Structure formats: C-alpha cells, structure tokens
Amino acid sequence: MTASQPRGSVCLVGGGPGDPDLMTVRARQRLADADVVVVDRLAPTDGLAGLAPRAELVDVGKTPGHHAVPQEQINQILVAHALAGRRVVRLKGGDPYVLGRGGEEVEACRAAGVTVEVVPGVTSAFSVPAAAGIPVTHRGLARSVTVLTGHDPLDPDRLEALVRLGGTLVVLMGVTRLAGLADGLLAAGMDPATPVAAVERGWSPTQRTTSAHLASIARACADRGVTSPAVLVVGAVAALADDPTLCDAPAVLLEVATLARPSG
Ligand SMILES: C[S@@+](CC[C@H](N)C(=O)[O-])C[C@H]1O[C@@H](n2cnc3c(N)ncnc32)[C@H](O)[C@@H]1O
C-alpha cells in the first residue's frame, strides 16, 4: 500500500491507452482520493466518475491541430488548485513522460513550490502495437525500438540517422504528416518494402489496423480514412500485425500478410 497523496499537491497519473483496465493500482488509488481531476482528450474517461467519486472534473482535452486549453494555462490550473489545498490528479493518456508534456507540468509545479508526484502509465507507444499483435522488438527481426513524434517534420540528417539505426520506429501523432514522413524515410534510404502498420484507436472496440509497405502506406491510409489517434509502426515487426480487415484491403496489403513470420 502506498502513502496517500498529501493535500495541496499534484499527481500526474498515466492513464494508459484508453481502456480503464490498463490503469495501474496506484493510478486508481490517486483517483479515489482526488479532489480535482484535470483530464486530457486521450485519458481513459469511461467510468471516471466512479473511479474519482469526490472529484471535480476539469476537461482540458486537446484535439489534433486545436489545443483546447493552452499548456501554460493547464499548468496554472494545476498549481492554483494545489495552492488552494486540493489533491489534484492530472490524468493523462499513456505515460505522462512519453511525448505527454509531463515534464513541463512537473517543472511548473516545482517552480510554484507545489509537491508533485508522477505515477507512470502504460504507454500507447508499446501497448497499441501490442493490441494489434505487434511486438515492438522480436528476436531475429528488431533488437531496438525508437519512439518519436510525427508532429514536426524531421530534417534529412535525422531521418538518415534513424534509417542507419535500424530496429523498429514507433511514431505517435504521425497521421497528418504520414506522407511526408514516408517520403523522407524513402529519401533517406529506407527499403520501400519495409512493412508499416497504422493502428487506430488502440484498445477500443473500434480499433483498426492498416498495413502496407513504406512506399504505399500513405496512400493506403488515405484510402481507408485513417485518423488520429493512431500509432504507426515502421519495421519488420509491423508484418506481424493481426489484421482482421486485411482481407477487404487492396492487393498491396495482402502482400504484407504473406511476409514470413519468424519461428523463434
Ligand atoms: C500527445 S501523444 C501522448 C502519448 C502518451 N503520453 C502515451 O504515452 O501514450 C498522443 C498520441 O498518442 C497516440 N495514442 C494515444 N492513445 C492511443 C490509442 N488508444 N490508440 C492509438 N494511438 C494512441 C497517438 O499517436 C496520439 O496522437
């Protein structure tokens, strides 16, 4: 049993990829004790009222291209509630420290003299591929994994470095700029036949995987209307995706399904 959260403090809680079952025990304890819960768009909100029965819920959710509440203001909300003596839970999707701006929120709390704690969460970077049957590393296929944001374009030097590194690339926030990213990786020397999978809405009833080669993934995703939130997996392991929708897909996708599955 962990000590309870002190009054007048902030706890950044990683809520996992969306399914409440994937929240940790400590996350649930912090929610149960919370006076205020400040929630993100991709945080698990199903059943939140029951998990945090005494708490005021503050929604600061952002949608892609539209930041509902600017980060600076979110920081101020956390600090103001804590300085008023409340137990504040900042419920974030995935893990607070994986492309989640958790570090900035911790810094803002510390700068204001507010006690802050972090409860790690199950990151979408690894759990969403897993939900689609993709291990991000796999003996004989990938010995490393690099997680990156697709939000900002990468310069040719960084793209070449990623290609040289090998292993699996996991891209978050990559749907909007997918075509540019794929072109950049191809220009940097990545094999056009590299398997790629885009996993939308992981761990939800509407989860869907779109698989193709690097050379055709942007077209495949555009044709199927792939939208955020999605995790992109680039590399040999992407060919391991369980893809029940593959049979409805164009021939180029079927080719991916025939890529050899490793035996060990
Ligand atoms: C701002 S990042 C936050 C990542 C988060 N901190 C984590 O560790 O998972 C948001 C991105 O995570 C990915 N993501 C989060 N949850 C997802 C889910 N359930 N299914 C697919 N992608 C998800 C998407 O790429 C989305 O654009």
Report the separation in Å between the CA atom of 230 and the middle of ligand 1, taken as the mean of its atom positions: 7
173: alpha, beta or left? (left if phi > 0; alpha if psi -120 to 50): left
Confidence (pLDDT) at 68: 74
Q: Which residue has the tokens 């929240």?
A: 23
Q: Tell me, what DSSP letter sits at residue 226? A: -
Is 40 an active-site residue? yes
Question: Does residue 198 lie in a domain region?
Answer: yes
139 with 232, same domain? yes
| Catalytic one of 23, 35, 95, 173 | 173
Q: What's the CA-to-centroid distance between 80 and ligand 1, angstroms?
A: 27
The stretch 89-101 carries a mean pLDDT of: 97
Annotated catalytic, 62?
Answer: yes
User: 253: domain range?
Assistant: 125-257
Q: Residue 196 Cα, ligand 1 centroid: separation in angstroms? A: 17
Residue 181 is assigned to a structural domain of this protein: yes
At 63, the pLDDT band (50, 70, 90 cuts) reads: low
Going by alpha carbons, the residue nearest to atom 1 of ligand 1 is 100
Based on the domain organization, do 134 and 84 belong to the same domain?
A: no
Last residue of a domain, one of 92, 122, 152: 122
Atom number, ligand 1, closest to the C-alpha of residue 203: 19
pLDDT value for 124: 98
Q: Of 98, 122, 146, which residue is a domain's last?
A: 122
Cβ count within 10 A of residue 248:
9
- The predicted pLDDT at position 235 comes to 97
In a domain, 264, yes or no: no
Q: Is the pLDDT of residue 87 over 80?
A: yes
Distance 125 CA to ligand 1 centre (A): 7
| Sheet with 56-59: strands ordered across | 56-59, 36-39, 87-92, 9-14, 115-119
Task: From 122, 154, 185, give the residue that closes a domain.
Answer: 122
Whether residues 133 and 252 share a domain: the answer is yes
Q: Is the pLDDT of residue 229 over 90?
A: yes
* Mutation choice for ligand 1 from 124, 171, 181, 203, CB with most ligand atoms inside 8 A: 124
Query: Does 260 or 158 have the greater pLDDT score?
Result: 158
pLDDT in tens, 127-156: 999 999 999 999 999 999 999 999 999 999
Contact residues for 137 (Cβ-Cβ < 8 A; gap 6+)? 143, 144, 145, 167, 168, 237
What SS3 class is residue 108? helix
Percent of the chain with pLDDT over 90: 84
Residue 115 and residue 133 in one domain: no
| Sign of CA pseudo-dihedral 249, 252, 255, 256 | negative
Contact 232, 198 (CB under 8 A): yes
For residue 190, give the nearest of 219, 213, 221 by alpha carbon. Answer: 213
| pLDDT on residue 43 | 86
Residue 252 has pLDDT above 80, yes or no: no
Residues 42 and 34: their CA atoms lie apart, in Å, by 19
Judgement on whether residues 98 and 134 belong to the same structural domain of the protein: no
Chain center to CA of 92: 10
168 and 64 in a single domain? The answer is no
The C-alpha atoms of residue 255 and residue 194 are separated, in whole angstroms, by 12
For residue 262, tell me if it sits in a domain. Answer: no
Domain count, the chain: 2
Domain shared by 165 and 204, yes or no:
yes
Pocket of ligand 1 (CB under 6 A): 17-18, 42, 93-95, 98-100, 123-125, 128, 172-173, 199, 201-203, 228-231
Tens digit of pLDDT for each residue in 171-207?
999 999 999 999 999 999 999 999 999 999 999 999 9
Q: What does the alpha-carbon distance between residue 260 and residue 247 come to, in Å, rounded to a whole number? A: 18
- The reported pTM is 0.91
pLDDT, averaged across the chain: 91
Average pLDDT over residues 72-85: 97
**Both 112 and 167 in a single domain?**
no
Asked if 92 is an active-site residue, the reply is no
pLDDT of residue 26 exceeding 80, the answer is yes
